[in-house]
Structure 1
Amino acid sequence: MIRLLILALMVSALPLLGAWPAVLLAIYALAFIPYFALLPTRESHSAISWTWLLGAALLVRIWLVFWPPILSDDLFRYVWEGRVFVAGLNPFVLAPNADELAFLRDSEIWPSINHSHIPTIYPPVAQFVFGLNALFDGGTTSLRLIFVAFELILTGLIVKELPALRRYQFCLIYLLNPLVITELAWSGHLDALAYLSALWGLLLWLNRRSVVFVGLVLGLSISTKFLGVMALALILLTPGRSLGQKAWVALVSVTTVGATYLPFAEAGPDLLAGFGTYAASWRSNDIFFRAIYSLSETVLTLPDGQKVVFDLPQGSLASDQISATLGKAFAVLAMSCAFVWSVTVIRRPAQGFLLLMGTLLLFAPTVHPWYVAWLVPFAAVAEKPEDTPMARAALIWSTSVILAYLAWLSYGNGGAWHTPSWAAWVQGGLVLFALATTRAKPHLNS
């Protein structure tokens, strides 16, 4: 009970520490000490009652939603895009700084919108949730309350699909994780809606529920954040159930995604313009991508310090373009290997998703802390997370990724938004160390 109280107080104190950013990050990281102390081990089980567990998880979330987010400004963009949608305009066409949207600008949301020259990068279901908030003229607090409500509903639906002996474990590991709590309830990232619906869809498939319903759930996940497509791919290619059932899941998923895009179809080829800009140019807290990029840049630098440039018929290809392409090519290769391993060796979609997502994050050019939160619920459904290399590595990474916020600290002090290389190497090193030193148990059910 004391450990739960300490954890709740430390996470709840984070918004109060905004005037001391370094202290805030330190407390954020230290909150994982009581969190890991609460987790069951091979020798013992947690003694926290269901009432205390769920009560603490809910109260901390409700407390955090009433504080302005300072670690990220994405939430302001969400609120803005909901208002654009409800006004009958298309956020896939109109960037926030478009003249047509001038009438929506205010003194609270508008000044905090990031990348105002780029149309939305968020898929349709995300827009529907943003619009639900805007229907009631909601702001940042009400939208986060909506996120928390959806998160708790989806958690309950997931728990129903888990074996009775693993329900408590899932709630303990997922609901009390400081990264999950902070990134959803305080910073207000919508990722929980996407990763919980993806996990729910995989568990529905595992428990042989209606294939139409499985396809619908996965389609909604994909149309909230595209990463859910990995869950669909794993279902289609992992052995189990008939080809006809898999075809139905695929058909319903694709139809669901297509249907959600219909209200925005006027954007035409620009539907993915914002997301394309993100995928092509964003870089933050990259790990192996950074190593490949740096090595390539070194090779393509002449002795006099000049960068190599290749002249092509359609223009020139600079060394930084080559380096970024090589980094993404390695990411594709790593993901391909992880996918083959998932469908041929692991053969359990939920655990396969954990491997795929972890591999993607290790090689991706952008690894925000809330991206790592995707790993936590999939780690929490492992039979024995402390004995499962991938699950243990995921939970450790949910701690070490706090180092990514050194970029926020640097930016606040007038520097560039840049995570130091040593911080990226520490994250990657701890993940690899956990993978190498954890004794795997056979027959894990996902």
Structure 2
Amino acid sequence: MLSDDLYRYLVDGQAILRGISPYAMAPEAADFLPPDMANLPELVNHSHLITLYPPAAQIVFAAGATMGILIDPLIGMKLVLCIMDICTCMMMITLVRSLDIPACRVILYAWNPLPVMEIAGSGHIDGAAVFFFTAALMLTSRAKTGIFTGVFMALAILTKWIPLMILPAWLLLVPNKKRATALASALLTSGILTALFWPELTNGIATLGQYLRHWEFSGFVFRSLRQLSGSGIIARSIVAALFTGIVGVLFIRHVFFHTSRKNIFAYLAVVSTAFPMLSPTVYPWYALYPAACLSFVQTPAVLILSWSVLLSYRILMVRHTTGLWIEDDLTPLLIIAAPAAAIAIQGIVARFSMRQ
């Protein structure tokens, strides 16, 4: 595995199976683990911090921990996520057909090395989030009511907070007659899941606050702004404002011009690509969200980002040889420069073609 997040998932899942809230204590204080898992807290990164993963993620962790009882714990968790990812690919086929796009385009996600590495290899919970939001998108047009698309949208957001960024696009895709029902079911689902873990959930929210204030990794735009301003707070505020502006401007544009479903999916791809390019923290698995858009949006930039983001694993090679966690300035630049160059070249080619 290229990440140790899976060990925290196992601790959280074991807590759920024993009727203990994973938000009640940090992994280093976990005294409920079975003997064969007693060393798990030592493998968890930042084991002094209480989990920040939302309630729906905890249900997935519990399912993985249950599967792990039948087989190996690590394989059990990965198997649950792999099954969800296979279902994601099947739903993508239905989704692209509804947009009159050839089903073979799903190969761009299904055969992409990124989901294979990050879901099957490292077992990241983002695979479950992609599953839930793909289901929500598919059900915007297929379901008779907005109930189930709302439920799955809530599950996506409460699996990993990142799908919050696609909420405006989802609202545009839900037909007007179903929108109120979809929103109501999303809010009800969120309320039920939140209530199940309240009030200990506030501890997880506190950890999330620490992550938002202090975490950073391979974010070129953020690093550049921090160096220019001399302040991490100012840099975070600027990238947050830029991202919010992109989401807001595109949302307003689609609302006023009543664009087609295909254009809304393009909006979804732009937003999900802008997130890892502007985020202070650019882990490779964050690119799973734009990668999921490859099936219904024809843009080389998204495909290239799903490859270039893997350059961030260079730091593991340095750590393996030196024992030190050392970031460099070139790698974040290359990660963002590759898709940015693709966007520029595509624009130049398109403009040249229009002149012919």
Normalising by the smaller structure, the TM-score range is 0.7 to 0.9
Match of 2:3 in 1: 72
Q: Secondary structure of the residue that 1:79 maps to in structure 2?
A: helix
One-letter amino acid of the counterpart of residue 140, structure 2: W
- 1:208, CA displacement in angstroms? 6.1
Match of 2:113 in 1: 178
Match of 2:228 in 1: 295
Cα shift readout 1:336-366 (whole Å, capped 9, x = no counterpart): 4454456556663322221111112111100
- Aligned partners of 1:239 and 1:144: how far apart in 2? 31
- Aligned partners of 1:240 and 1:221: how far apart in 2? 16
Gaps in structure 2 of 5+ consecutive residues: 352-356
Match of 1:286 in 2: 219
Question: CA 1:427–1:160 in structure 2 vs 1: closer, same or farther (change >3 Å)?
Answer: same
Cα shift readout 1:17-54 (whole Å, capped 9, x = no counterpart): xxxxxxxxxxxxxxxxxxxxxxxxxxxxxxxxxxxxxx
- 1:266, CA displacement in angstroms? 2.8
- 1:440, CA displacement in angstroms? 6.0
Match of 1:417 in 2: 325
Q: Secondary structure of the residue that 1:81 maps to in structure 2?
A: helix
Contact 1:289 1:331 in 2 (8 A): no
- Aligned partners of 1:259 and 1:168: how far apart in 2? 36
Q: Share of identical aligned residues, percent?
A: 26
- Aligned partners of 2:252 and 2:121: how far apart in 1? 37
- Aligned partners of 2:32 and 2:252: how far apart in 1? 51
1:311-330 paired onto structure 2 within 5 Å: 319-330=231-242
CA-based RMSD: 2.5
- 1:172, CA displacement in angstroms? 1.3
Match of 2:96 in 1: 162
One-letter amino acid of the counterpart of residue 87, structure 2: I
One-letter amino acid of the counterpart of residue 429, structure 1: A
One-letter amino acid of the counterpart of residue 422, structure 1: L
Of 65, 70, 91 in structure 1, the residue corresponding to residue 22 of structure 2 is: 91
Cα shift readout 1:42-79 (whole Å, capped 9, x = no counterpart): xxxxxxxxxxxxxxxxxxxxxxxxxxx1x110111111
Contact 2:28 2:47 in 1 (8 A): yes
Match of 1:104 in 2: 33
Contact 1:92 1:272 in 2 (8 A): no
Q: Secondary structure of the residue that 2:108 maps to in structure 1?
A: helix
Contact 1:284 1:366 in 2 (8 A): yes
Match of 1:307 in 2: none
Is 1:375 aligned to residue 285 of structure 2? no
One-letter amino acid of the counterpart of residue 378, structure 1: C
Cα shift readout 1:132-187 (whole Å, capped 9, x = no counterpart): 22235351111101111111123223322331864532331111101111111111
Q: Which has the higher helix share?
A: 2
Match of 1:217 in 2: 152
Match of 1:406 in 2: 314
Of 106, 128, 145 in structure 1, the residue corresponding to residue 79 of structure 2 is: 145
Contact 1:285 1:418 in 2 (8 A): no
Match of 1:123 in 2: 54
One-letter amino acid of the counterpart of residue 193, structure 2: T
Question: CA 1:161–1:323 in structure 2 vs 1: closer, same or farther (change >3 Å)?
Answer: closer
Match of 2:66 in 1: 135
Question: CA 1:268–1:433 in structure 2 vs 1: closer, same or farther (change >3 Å)?
Answer: closer
